[in-house]
Chains A and B, each alone.
Chain A
């Protein structure tokens, strides 16, 4: 069986950053992704990032992705594309698929950076062609340059819903409505402001009751909500050919469960996540995580977490000294703290601290038991 020192599953911003960091320290790194294109969600993100210079503010997502890819090339990181990882077994045996069947390799250390899955909503007609996730629409317009439809209803006003709505406008579609069940907009004011200026109507305290059409979406019925309960008589029908759902993400933890990482519920960060310490190590000491799998945040935090996991893995493989690693990790944490500040960030910081607390409890429990 083929042996590798460090295997990273997922070539999104988290996985690529982890690989770069570990390779810089001298670790032999292999990154594997089921996608034919590396970059994960980054290559769909054509808007400029916020924050400070160290966080690539003002740089568009896909440009950041190109830089990461170039760095992996320069450092000689092996990137295997089009290969889904099906399972990981005790001792670091990894099973993955290629065009000619299943293969195995063995890894000393593993970093899981598999990202998150998009959540769905169920309503009458939600399986009609034309109903899709916001990510599907974003992939079609920004990667493949094809409009999924011309008149779109966006369900969900978090940042994904707002950003994808704006990108649909940029691609030439009309956004007929942004529908939000809560009484207020979920995402950043700047993103919402751009849509409002473009004349996109917001339906707050509303939801989709059904998508109508014989073979494809032709119209959508909305209903007003009072404390999340439909108010009879408030139904309205809007003509549209596409419904996009941007109703949250759930960390993809299957592989982590398979390799024995204990999970913990994090309400603020998307649901069950592998418990992890301050340096992204899970309850399986050979397995680290980074990015959305460890709690759904954003690309900038995913990259910093990747660097953290890459540093920790390099340290445990003996490529950097404890002192050097401590310095690096402290620096990364300073940047993470900046990213996790402010109105939205502080909540994420709290949720992360909770996860680390659970991890510590599990470790103590393990020692006692």
Chain B
């Protein structure tokens, strides 16, 4: 963690943006861009483990990147099983590593 993996320079892509907000990942503040997928903000911060499997606790991370495989599920704002690769960032979102099927949490 801690290193920035955002593309800083590119020969073709023009609209490279800077973080304009933040999310909370397992209690830590991580810079993020409003509207980008939660998974992209996490990857940018070097986080690649999204959850651990139910039976054997194996780590899982982004696999398909387009909402089809379910590997990137995390607990988002208290709701488990949220596919972070297709969930847009909102300011202050609370994102947690999911253990197994995860648990519903009351955030208030």
- Give the distance to chain B from A287, nearest Cβ to Cβ, in Å: 23
- Give the distance to chain B from A126, nearest Cβ to Cβ, in Å: 9
Instruction: Given A60-B12, A136-B65, answer yes or no on A145-B6 (Cβ-Cβ < 8 Å).
Output: yes
- Which secondary structure characterizes the binding site on chain A? loop
Contact A145 B65 (CB under 8 A): no
* Interface size range on A against B: 20 to 34
Complex-state Cα separation, A132 to B37, whole angstroms = 17
In the assembled complex, A257 has its CB within 8 A of some CB on chain B: no
Contact A130 B7 (CB under 8 A): no
Instruction: Given A129-B48, A145-B17, A170-B12, answer yes or no on A216-B61 (Cβ-Cβ < 8 Å).
Output: yes
| Chain B residues within an 8 Å CB radius of A35 | 66-67, 86
Contact A216 B59 (CB under 8 A): yes
> Which residue on B lies nearest to A147, using beta carbons?
B5
- Give the distance to chain A from B68, nearest Cβ to Cβ, in Å: 7
| Chain B residues within an 8 Å CB radius of A137 | 65
B side interface size, CB within 8 A: 34
Contact B67 A34 (CB under 8 A): yes
In the assembled complex, B101 has its CB within 8 A of some CB on chain A: no
Complex-state Cα separation, A141 to B40, whole angstroms = 9
- Which secondary structure characterizes the binding site on chain B? loop
Return the contact of B37 from the options A60, A129, A142, A144 (Cβ within 8 A): A144
- Give the distance to chain B from A92, nearest Cβ to Cβ, in Å: 26
In the assembled complex, B63 has its CB within 8 A of some CB on chain A: yes
| Chain A residues within an 8 Å CB radius of B58 | 127
CB 8 Å contact bits of B49-87 with A (1 = contact, 0 = none): 110000000111111111110010000000000000110
| Chain A residues within an 8 Å CB radius of B63 | 131-133, 136
Return the contact of B7 from the options A36, A117, A171 (Cβ within 8 A): A171
Contact B66 A140 (CB under 8 A): no
In the assembled complex, A146 has its CB within 8 A of some CB on chain B: yes
Contact B40 A170 (CB under 8 A): no
- Give the distance to chain B from A242, nearest Cβ to Cβ, in Å: 9
> Which residue on B lies nearest to A139, using beta carbons?
B65
Complex-state Cα separation, A150 to B8, whole angstroms = 13
Complex-state Cα separation, A130 to B62, whole angstroms = 7
In the assembled complex, B2 has its CB within 8 A of some CB on chain A: no
Complex-state Cα separation, A140 to B71, whole angstroms = 15
Of residues 104 through 150 on chain A, the ones whose CB sits less than 8 Å from some CB of chain B are 117-118, 127-133, 135-137, 139-142, 144-150
In the assembled complex, A172 has its CB within 8 A of some CB on chain B: yes
Return the contact of B43 from the options A60, A117, A140 (Cβ within 8 A): A140
- Give the distance to chain B from A210, nearest Cβ to Cβ, in Å: 15
Contact B62 A117 (CB under 8 A): no
| Chain A residues within an 8 Å CB radius of B86 | 35-36
| Chain A residues within an 8 Å CB radius of B40 | 140, 144, 146
Return the contact of B65 from the options A129, A133, A216 (Cβ within 8 A): A133
Contact B7 A132 (CB under 8 A): no
B11, B43, B65 pick with most chain A CB within 10 angstroms: B65
In the assembled complex, A46 has its CB within 8 A of some CB on chain B: yes
| Chain B residues within an 8 Å CB radius of A150 | 5
- Give the distance to chain A from B105, nearest Cβ to Cβ, in Å: 21
Instruction: Given A135-B66, A171-B7, answer yes or no on A46-B12 (Cβ-Cβ < 8 Å).
Output: yes
Contact B61 A145 (CB under 8 A): no
In the assembled complex, A234 has its CB within 8 A of some CB on chain B: no
Complex-state Cα separation, A92 to B63, whole angstroms = 34
Instruction: Given A146-B7, A172-B8, A215-B49, answer yes or no on A118-B64 (Cβ-Cβ < 8 Å).
Output: yes
| Chain B residues within an 8 Å CB radius of A170 | 10-12
> Which residue on B lies nearest to A84, using beta carbons?
B67
- 5 extra interchain contacts, Cβ-Cβ under 8 A, other than A132-B65, A146-B5, A216-B48? A129-B50, A132-B63, A132-B64, A145-B7, A171-B10
In the assembled complex, 29 residue pairs joining A and B whose CB atoms fall closer than 8 Å, in A order, are A36-B86, A36-B88, A46-B13, A127-B58, A129-B48, A129-B50, A130-B61, A132-B62, A132-B64, A135-B65, A135-B66, A136-B62, A136-B63, A136-B65, A136-B85, A140-B40, A140-B65, A142-B13, A144-B36, A144-B37, A145-B10, A145-B13, A146-B36, A170-B12, A172-B7, A172-B9, A172-B10, A215-B49, A216-B49
